[in-house]
Structure 1
Amino acid sequence: MKRRIAATAAAALLLLAFPTTAGAAPDEEPLTRYVKDTSGAYGYSTEPVYTYPGSGEQVAIPTTLTPENRRFSSAWVGTIGNLNFGKPTDAADFDARYATVLDDFASWNMNAVIFQVRPLLDAYYPSALNPWSEFLTGTQGADPGYDPLQRMVEATHARGMEFHAWLNPYRVTNTKMTSPAILTALGLTADEVKALSIPQYIAALNDAGILADDNFAVQHPDWVLSFEEKLFLDPGQPEVPAYVAATVAEITENYDVDAIHFDDYFYPYRITVDGQNVFFGAQGEDRATFEEFGLTAGYPDTVDGIEAWRRDNITGLITLVDDAIAAGNAARGTAVQLGISPFGIWEHEALDPAGSHTPTSSSQTYSQAVFADTRGWVQDELIDYIVPQIYWSFDQAAAPYGELAQWWSDVAAGSRTQVYVGHALYKHVNNGGWEQAWMNPEEVPNQIRYNQKLDGIEGSVLFSYNDMKPSDLSSLPADQQPKHQAKNTAIELLEGEAFAHPTLVPAKPWLSDGQVATPAAPEVIDGELRWQAGDAQEARQYAIYRGTGDPAQIVATPGALVDTVWAGGAASFRFPLPADDAPTAARAATETWVVTALDAAAVESAPVAVAVDEPVDPTDPGTPTDPTGPTDPGSPSNPGAAGEDGVTAPGGGATRGERGDLAATGGDAPIVALVLGGLLLAAGAVTTVVAAHGRRTR
């Protein structure tokens, strides 16, 4: 990677001499620190970067990245505070905004979208349990008059990508109670707001129209806690995990989502006040809940006992959500996944021998705060994938990337739970603790190259969507341009290597029904690849490969994947063969097209070679049959609509049957049943469920 930057015209960064270190493999380069020299230029120094301070093991980066046909590739699209997605004016504006997101993801060859559909206790879909999101309409509870989630799922599938519905389970508010906006809305002073009890404050927010009448916190203010002047649901109240699980069930019952995704927010993180660490619980915020449910369940009234109780509350939530998803999969024959993207450090070795080589001054999730036993969830296979947010450079002593990536890879050994890494592409520009390592545009590309050395890591997710788009340097002040130049060059490097080729998501055979039927009668006619579904109900999408050798060899060849086509229950398919620089006749003579079917768990059928009975007549990808943004479902150009002969073009067939209103689907009944069942389970023995959890069959 280092030699490539010198050849990149956009990179106006000076590279310093890079030493040769004994012991590095021939196909690897030892990593040295990226620093600012005496002339003010940034570049590599001669000082080694170690896996972690004191390890004596210098990080070595592979000199090339081997293409893969299986790799999870995505980014987070956050809606909290309209972070990555603005407020649409109407349905057409929403569609246009989301089409831009899909265009960007497609240009990066990503295979999944992680979109935040529940930033607070709200929804980007009509819900019997949660109000409409304020970040969608401007006012919580205001109906936009259309169903954003339905539109996103269909449009995403039409582009051949998975849709992962991202939810925050507990967050009630994201603005401090003494912020000017809140004080103005309530007509109170900071002292007056601070004097309110939590139920009184919630009532005031409701009266001001900030929290809707049907907000769960408004309906149950006694189940809400406060920390750092923000509100969140009390994880220790048995009704809370039941409500969250019911919310998940409502989504999976009514939408064809591929996964439910939680981020890293459970119990609050520590904060710093006047230079001192402040931890949730130090002021007895959940003492009453512990006395009611923790002490009576046998947890010791000690620091360790309370922490264990909090951890079990969070694991109890994950267990209920896992059960809800598994029950839905079994009932409907679906393969919805459960994924979580936690903070990158589980625990420190100094506090637990199983922890990472990270200093105790760094944050962690197992103890002291958050109380998420993410390592345990992987080992007990409660989740299908995990995306640790390793948002630090190789050179960050407080949380060195190399050590943490290796640690998570080791944790995944022997577990079916898949590990993808969350990368901090945003830190090139927004770097709170300022690490000069993020002036290096090769930081994230190097991380992805390093990951290929680790058997347990199977993908990458970028934070966030906004940072996938280059900055306009001419619009920025001169002192800001170097940071943005580093980001722009990083984007160029990533798109040119790690995201240069299409990939399939990793298979999850434990969610599959078994063997997948092969596509039938594939052939090339009039410059199109055509085939029939082997099992139209089973196939989720089709993979198209091109290469030399027999079909099995082609499918196994890295980089042989050309594209995917979403199935959507269609019986027949057409794929316009792409134009290519190589002569068409030569390609037809030396290479073979191969088609496979994949089920909802991305388990692949046996490959079938395509019969070419005539010269290939490649079609320009810009023709009307190429997938574009969502269009009127009734128009002939809609990628999801069947043609006159019932054949589906690329990306087609994603549209499900009309869903209608929730009341008309009968969807409320199972949700209510789940709520009641969850209440009984939680009230009786949430911790009993946790204590008994082990490897689960889904």
Structure 2
Amino acid sequence: MRRTTAAATAALLLLGIPTAAAGTTDDEQLLYKYVKDASGAYGYGSDPVETYPGSGTQVSIPTTSAEETRRFSSAWVATIDNLNFGRPADAADFDSRFTRVLDDFESWNMNAVIFQVRPLLDAYYPSELNPWSGFLTGTQGVDPGYDPLARAVEATHARGMEFHAWLNPYRVTNSKMTSATVLGALDMTADEVKALSIPEYIAALADAGILAPDNYAVQHPDQVLMFEEKLFLDPGEPAVRTSVADTVAEIVANYDVDAIHFDDYFYPYRITVDGENVFFGDAGEDRATFEEHGLTAGYADTPEDIERWRRDNVTALISDVNDEVDAHNAATGSAVQLGVSPFGIWEHKENDPAGSNTPTTSSQTYSGSVFADTRGWVQDELVDYLVPQIYWSFDQGAAPYGDLAQWWNDVAAGSRTQVYVGHALYKHVNNGGWEQAWMNPEEVPNQIRFNQKLDDIDGSVLFSYNDMQPSDLASLPADQQPRHEAKNQAIELLREDAFGHPTLVPAKPWLSDGVVAAPKGVQVRDGHLVWEAGDPQEARQYAIYRGTGSPKQIIAREGALVGTVWADGASTLEFELPNTASSTPAREKWVVTALDAAAVESAPVAATGKPDKPGKPEQPGKPDKPGKPDHPVRPSQPGGSEDGR
């Protein structure tokens, strides 16, 4: 397996990797558990890692990464509790902070930004339906005096990346009612606040300025439920679905977003109290809603049918939002996508033959909790893409990465819905102290290489943006340094390998109008590629390739993509050639294609002329600052969830 500098450093600690067993090829290497020896050194041991415990099939990893031209590459930028994006002082500060995000994404060769614009029932944009987010100003409902979403979308596009607007559909509060922050704001004791009804508690939050007067929950407290001392909208209320769909309609009507993105929070996850599992519904939290909307719709009053009703409620939300996005696309000729990032386990095979090889002691989201039939959404093509959060290592028996990646790949087979994988880069620091696999800097790089073997896995998303930043080891206590060093080495590996070259997002032809007009008059002139738009209104961006052979052969070759230029409706465009253009062999050609909003590509057009005056290495159309004035934290283990998404 090829090893870069970081990998070579890690290799010094190896306990000795056994030679590849029969059944592997020179292109793959068998995977063994990453362990800690008696001296405290970490490395690969001699115990094989199976796709799932008892499978009898050992995981094998390709020894090299393919330079795929089409691959979704992104990370989540969470604004909930200012997790990945601090509270900006003003418009200039917002621009500065967002520019740093784009600089990092660009340096990682990412092609999309997933930015949270509705962390609670609020907005990072002026809205007639939702109050301003308190994570912008410190107080929900206070106008910051500028439009963050407009600025973010324009700046992202100027860098040649898609902007995916991330919304949480139901969440009202993210702090427990007995937390010190809430009790202090309400000037109440824990016993006093727990004695309040849900409408009384909402009214108290509004009086304290925690919830704005125009918050949907304040206006409709009868449509709010509570679990684990947190408030969320009732998924069983039809009016709630309408309000969420209306929010999506408002965003796509007013902003040039490339996608609407939901995370994994629908009905609540199970929790553990005093060592016992507690499930939403056990205390009859939505009993009244079921009697009003479930029994009257023909669902039987049985545990199985109540679960089916809940699943149907969530599916109805996805269907309603999909209808809004489709209507917008049909009316405007747009190609806005709908994507969801679900929990990594749909269901266990012991509970359903279609499930994964995961034990019933692990969480799942088809039954028991959450009630998201994500497999059904793929089969019915209700979403354009899914990003399952496969936040576990290959050797995690409760949720083995290899089996789950294969399971999601198989689910996507035959469906137009694309599947990208969410990777837990954060676990090097969070879990490295007690899960030896996360001391391995090659864990996520191995996962991405493993995905190359799966035809229907089309990309990777990292959780989260903060974990793309190297740690300053010298500033950390000695006992924390090894975990952060593993993360730092993983970052280096990823940047050099899986994210070491530019990529285009996967095409979605079902969102395209058809044939895309090719660029015209492509020439090399004074160190630039220049061309005319074939159709300025249709082109979303342009792809620049370099290679030998015919234009079709060049664009089909891995590693030929050099960069992109965002179209922005321009009729005349250019691309500044990198310094390496001066050494381009005479037989090599520059080729330009146009892509529409669905990333469907035009015929390639080769440039005429010679690259005689190369420019600077920076790519054009990517300003240092935005042009105009924090994923979700995921359940760290299959058994529970964490705050902070």
Structure 1 length as normaliser, TM-score? 0.89
Q: CA deviation at 1:12?
A: 8.2
Match of 2:624 in 1: 629
Q: CA deviation at 1:16?
A: 1.4
Alpha-carbon distance in 1 for matches of 2:433, 2:349: 24
Whether the 8 Å contact between 2:151 and 2:628 is mirrored in structure 1 is no
Match of 2:233 in 1: 233
Match of 2:198 in 1: 198
Alpha-carbon distance in 1 for matches of 2:459, 2:102: 19
Match of 1:346 in 2: 346
Please state whether the residue corresponding to 1:479 is helix, strand or coil: coil
Provide, for residues 311-343 of structure 1, a one-character-per-residue CA deviation record: whole Å limited to 9, x for no partner: 000000000000000000001110000000000
Please state whether the residue corresponding to 2:579 is helix, strand or coil: coil
**Structure 1 residues 287 and 433, CA gap change in structure 2 (3 angstroms):** farther
Question: Which letter does structure 1 place at the counterpart of 2:615?
Answer: T
- Counterparts of 1:241-390 in structure 2 under 5 Å? 241-390=241-390
- Which of 612, 615, 619 lines up with 1:619 in the alignment? 615
Whether the 8 Å contact between 1:356 and 1:403 is mirrored in structure 2 is yes
Match of 1:693 in 2: none
Q: CA deviation at 1:627?
A: 2.4
Give yes or no for the alignment of 1:126 onto 2:126: yes
Alpha-carbon distance in 2 for matches of 1:167, 1:86: 18
Match of 2:15 in 1: 16
Match of 1:599 in 2: 596
- Counterparts of 1:209-228 in structure 2 under 5 Å? 209-228=209-228
Match of 1:681 in 2: none
RCO comparison, higher one (Cα < 8 Å, 6+): 2
Match of 2:426 in 1: 426
- Counterparts of 1:44-83 in structure 2 under 5 Å? 44-83=44-83
Provide, for residues 621-675 of structure 1, a one-character-per-residue CA deviation record: whole Å limited to 9, x for no partner: 259x6622235669xxxxxxxxxxxxxxxxxxxxxxxxxxxxxxxxxxxxxxxxx
Please state whether the residue corresponding to 2:394 is helix, strand or coil: coil
Q: CA deviation at 1:26?
A: 2.1
Question: Which letter does structure 1 place at the counterpart of 2:458?
Answer: E
Please state whether the residue corresponding to 2:535 is helix, strand or coil: coil
Whether the 8 Å contact between 1:445 and 1:493 is mirrored in structure 2 is yes
Whether the 8 Å contact between 1:542 and 1:566 is mirrored in structure 2 is yes
Please state whether the residue corresponding to 1:396 is helix, strand or coil: coil
Alpha-carbon distance in 2 for matches of 1:12, 1:588: 38
- Which of 590, 603, 608 lines up with 2:605 in the alignment? 608
Please state whether the residue corresponding to 2:265 is helix, strand or coil: coil
Whether the 8 Å contact between 1:2 and 1:442 is mirrored in structure 2 is no
Alpha-carbon distance in 2 for matches of 1:29, 1:441: 16
Match of 2:461 in 1: 461
Give yes or no for the alignment of 1:530 onto 2:530: yes
Match of 2:490 in 1: 490
Q: CA deviation at 1:590?
A: 2.1
Q: CA deviation at 1:246?
A: 0.2
Give yes or no for the alignment of 1:138 onto 2:138: yes
Question: Which letter does structure 1 place at the counterpart of 2:370?
Answer: V
Alpha-carbon distance in 1 for matches of 2:585, 2:442: 39
Give yes or no for the alignment of 1:400 onto 2:400: yes
Please state whether the residue corresponding to 1:430 is helix, strand or coil: helix
Provide, for residues 165-220 of structure 1, a one-character-per-residue CA deviation record: whole Å limited to 9, x for no partner: 00000000000000011001001110010000000000000000000000000000
Whether the 8 Å contact between 1:6 and 1:15 is mirrored in structure 2 is no
Alpha-carbon distance in 2 for matches of 1:547, 1:100: 32
Whether the 8 Å contact between 2:11 and 2:43 is mirrored in structure 1 is no
Question: Which letter does structure 2 place at the counterpart of 1:607?
Answer: P
Please state whether the residue corresponding to 2:479 is helix, strand or coil: helix
Provide, for residues 533-554 of structure 1, a one-character-per-residue CA deviation record: whole Å limited to 9, x for no partner: 0000000000000001100000
Alpha-carbon distance in 1 for matches of 2:513, 2:7: 49
RMSD (Å) for aligned C-alpha atoms: 1.4
Whether the 8 Å contact between 2:335 and 2:512 is mirrored in structure 1 is yes
Whether the 8 Å contact between 1:155 and 1:629 is mirrored in structure 2 is no
Please state whether the residue corresponding to 1:257 is helix, strand or coil: coil
Whether the 8 Å contact between 2:155 and 2:626 is mirrored in structure 1 is no
Give yes or no for the alignment of 1:556 onto 2:556: yes
Question: Which letter does structure 1 place at the counterpart of 2:595?
Answer: L
Provide, for residues 525-581 of structure 1, a one-character-per-residue CA deviation record: whole Å limited to 9, x for no partner: 11110000000000000000000110000000001000000001110001110011x
Q: CA deviation at 1:600?
A: 0.2
Alpha-carbon distance in 2 for matches of 1:579, 1:541: 23
Please state whether the residue corresponding to 2:421 is helix, strand or coil: strand
Q: CA deviation at 1:431?
A: 1.9
Please state whether the residue corresponding to 1:61 is helix, strand or coil: strand
**Structure 1 residues 156 and 563, CA gap change in structure 2 (3 angstroms):** same
Provide, for residues 87-128 of structure 1, a one-character-per-residue CA deviation record: whole Å limited to 9, x for no partner: 000000000000000000000000000000000000000000
Q: CA deviation at 1:22?
A: 1.8
Q: CA deviation at 1:617?
A: 1.1
Please state whether the residue corresponding to 1:601 is helix, strand or coil: coil
Match of 2:436 in 1: 436
Question: Which letter does structure 2 place at the counterpart of 1:14?
Answer: L
Alpha-carbon distance in 2 for matches of 1:493, 1:633: 34
Alpha-carbon distance in 2 for matches of 1:5, 1:523: 39
Alpha-carbon distance in 2 for matches of 1:111, 1:79: 20
Q: How many residues in Structure 1 have an aligned counterpart in Structure 2?
A: 628
Percent identity over the alignment? 75
Match of 1:642 in 2: none
Match of 1:187 in 2: 187
Question: Which letter does structure 1 place at the counterpart of 2:590?
Answer: W
Whether the 8 Å contact between 2:152 and 2:626 is mirrored in structure 1 is no
Match of 1:410 in 2: 410
**Structure 1 residues 151 and 597, CA gap change in structure 2 (3 angstroms):** same
Whether the 8 Å contact between 1:442 and 1:493 is mirrored in structure 2 is yes
Structure 2 length as normaliser, TM-score? 0.96
Q: CA deviation at 1:395?
A: 0.4
- Counterparts of 1:675-694 in structure 2 under 5 Å? none
**Structure 1 residues 382 and 633, CA gap change in structure 2 (3 angstroms):** closer
Whether the 8 Å contact between 1:13 and 1:42 is mirrored in structure 2 is no
Alpha-carbon distance in 1 for matches of 2:418, 2:536: 28
Alpha-carbon distance in 2 for matches of 1:26, 1:568: 46
Question: Which letter does structure 2 place at the counterpart of 1:589?
Answer: A
Provide, for residues 232-289 of structure 1, a one-character-per-residue CA deviation record: whole Å limited to 9, x for no partner: 0000011000000000000000000000000000000000000000000000000000
Alpha-carbon distance in 2 for matches of 1:622, 1:369: 49
Provide, for residues 460-501 of structure 1, a one-character-per-residue CA deviation record: whole Å limited to 9, x for no partner: 000000000100001001110000000000000000000000
Provide, for residues 5-58 of structure 1, a one-character-per-residue CA deviation record: whole Å limited to 9, x for no partner: 67645x486011111222112211100000000111000001000000000000
Alpha-carbon distance in 2 for matches of 1:28, 1:430: 30
Whether the 8 Å contact between 1:422 and 1:460 is mirrored in structure 2 is yes
Whether the 8 Å contact between 2:566 and 2:621 is mirrored in structure 1 is no
Alpha-carbon distance in 2 for matches of 1:633, 1:521: 31
Alpha-carbon distance in 2 for matches of 1:217, 1:123: 14
Whether the 8 Å contact between 2:7 and 2:489 is mirrored in structure 1 is no
Alpha-carbon distance in 1 for matches of 2:422, 2:274: 31
Whether the 8 Å contact between 1:248 and 1:260 is mirrored in structure 2 is yes
Please state whether the residue corresponding to 2:334 is helix, strand or coil: coil
Q: CA deviation at 1:299?
A: 0.5
Alpha-carbon distance in 2 for matches of 1:118, 1:458: 26
